[in-house]
Structure 1
Amino acid sequence: MNDAMQSQVDAEPMSDADRAVKLLWTGGWDSTFQLLRLLLKHRLPVVPYYLEDATRASTATELRTMRRIADELRKAFPHTCGLLHPLRRHRVDSLRPDDEIARALRTIRKRSYIGSQYAWLPAFCKRHGIDGIELSVHIDDKVQALVAPLVRGFEQAGKYRSFRLDPRHADTPEYTLFRYFGFPLFDIDKRGMGREAEYEGWSELMAMTWFCHRPVRGKPCGTCAPCVYAIEEGMAGRIPRTRRALSFFYRKLALPLKPPLRAALASVRRR
């Protein structure tokens, strides 16, 4: 038996989990849209990951939301029972800080403020050897603007176009933070997702999504970062009218003070 034939005999077939697309799913608008694309349009197996942040008031709501969406998917589209793998949950507080990633985040924040999740998301991937997991960064997202000059496009599973950080930029802090991720929504915004979801017949499922980090009596608060982004990106209708009014004053009066306060705090820490 020659070497080529022997390697074919010895090679084990890939499991469904090995072939599956890894997706960071929160039950939010963007990641749920990508989940629906994968399951309903491309009919690809998906392993969803959720990182639990115990400090976030919305964690229980996000988990309930994902269960509801998964249950509805399996009921309305039975083929997804074999494609959607169980949710893999990991606690953020179980992750050790990574010095290299922390330095990269500090460097980037001197130019553009991005959230604290970009300390533990790449640390999680690095610790668990996860590569190519999909992160639902989209047009109008700060991270999309930050890494746009550094990405390259590719075909994922022969089905759709996605983007990743180009290894030619391996010496940048952006590469340190975002090398582990694929960006399948890099060239679409929230309104475009809404139009595609309506065309495909997914609007009811998308209406089940959740995004607020600090819900008030079970409703979006209007002032946390995801609520502000939702309003700025044309999704204000998903926030109650009274909270939108409060959000208007928050965005006009309080929000502009945050960047100089962050800069002042950073200056104090460096002394």
Structure 2
Amino acid sequence: MHDGNNRHDHSRATEPASIEEAGVNLLWTSGWDSTFQLLQLLLKHRLPVTPYYLEDSSRASTSTELQAMQRIRDALYDAFPETRALLRPLRRFRVADLDSDPDISEALRTIRSRVYLGSQYEWLALFCKHHGMADIELSVHIDDKVQAVLAPFVRAYDQGGKYRSFRMDPCHADKAEYTLFRYFSFPLFQIDKRAMARDAERADWSWIMDMTWFCHRPVRGMPCGACAPCVYTIDEGLAWRVPRSRRALSYLYRKLALPLKPPLRAALASVRRR
């Protein structure tokens, strides 16, 4: 009897935890997309969430992003007390502490030979590989450049019976895209920012979404209008989030400076290959 009970207990201990128990790992930056997914997980699906944040010392917005996350957390606790038990402490890691990996670096170079992707995708993959994380949510969405890159390589799946998400299909394991993005799931793969805004308004979350932050180079506490996230925010239908004066500057930047970036990158890559 005693041995039988031990075997039974061991069997139960090795059963995988349900999503309601284990929760969801989410890369959260305080930005529009990841905050929208955070609200869906907490308020719509009622799931525990462990948020992760990677600190990039070269980014001037780090302190602003952390402050925004704290404001959002405080607002959730006040308006939705049940989230105190669901939203777990933020887990912070430094990009500077990540070890390099030749396979991941080569994967990014291969993709960049066809289309430019930011270096954050390399260090996000490095982080996941280093910490043995095989399923963390990355808020890739429609109109996001990387969404178009990954579209031929993903497959849909059911996330614990709660919602539909997407992952890299293992049948593409020989592709650079799989090497770089195999660690992530993409719950926002079929929605754009404007649809998120409409959904947030219907759910009465707009006031929380207004607390999000996106600019990488804030000027006197306001979005700069010229960094990549500011440009994407304007191009993807949320121009109202950038101050009017900065929108004018952004227009000039996108018309005059932005078109020069691709040839400059190509020239720099050519020099490095010599």
Q: Please state which band the TM-score falls in when normalised by the shorter chain.
A: over 0.9
Would you say how many aligned residue pairs link Structure 1 and Structure 2? Answer: 271
1:19 equivalent in alignment to 2:26: no
Aligned to 2:42: 39
| Deviations 1:163-209, CA, capped at 9 Å, x for gaps | 00000000000000000000000000000000000000100000000
Tell whether the 8 Å contact from 1:51 to 1:90 is kept in structure 2 after alignment. yes
SS of the aligned residue for 1:269 comes to helix
Unaligned runs of 5+ in 1: none
Give the Cα separation in 2 of the matches to 1:110 and 1:4: 59
Give the 4+ runs in structure 1 shifted more than 2 A: 1-8, 11-18
Q: Which moved more, 1:3-12 or 1:105-114?
A: 3-12
Aligned to 2:244: 241
Tell whether the 8 Å contact from 2:19 to 2:160 is kept in structure 1 after alignment. no
1:113 equivalent in alignment to 2:116: yes
1:152 equivalent in alignment to 2:161: no
Aligned to 1:169: 172
Aligned to 1:66: 69
Aligned to 1:55: 58
Distance 1:267 1:3, change over 3 A: farther
Q: CA deviation at 1:74?
A: 0.8
Give the Cα separation in 2 of the matches to 1:3 and 1:264: 70
SS of the aligned residue for 1:154 comes to strand
Tell whether the 8 Å contact from 1:57 to 1:215 is kept in structure 2 after alignment. yes
Q: CA deviation at 1:8?
A: 3.4
Paired AA for residue 219 in structure 1: M
1:126 equivalent in alignment to 2:114: no
TM-score normalised per structure 2: 0.96
Distance 1:22 1:267, change over 3 A: same
| Deviations 1:60-82, CA, capped at 9 Å, x for gaps | 00000000100110110011000
Identity %: 68
Give the Cα separation in 2 of the matches to 1:113 and 1:268: 17
Aligned to 1:268: 271
SS of the aligned residue for 2:232 comes to helix
Aligned to 2:86: 83
For residue 140 of structure 1, the aligned residue among 127, 143, 158 is 143
Q: CA deviation at 1:17?
A: 9.3
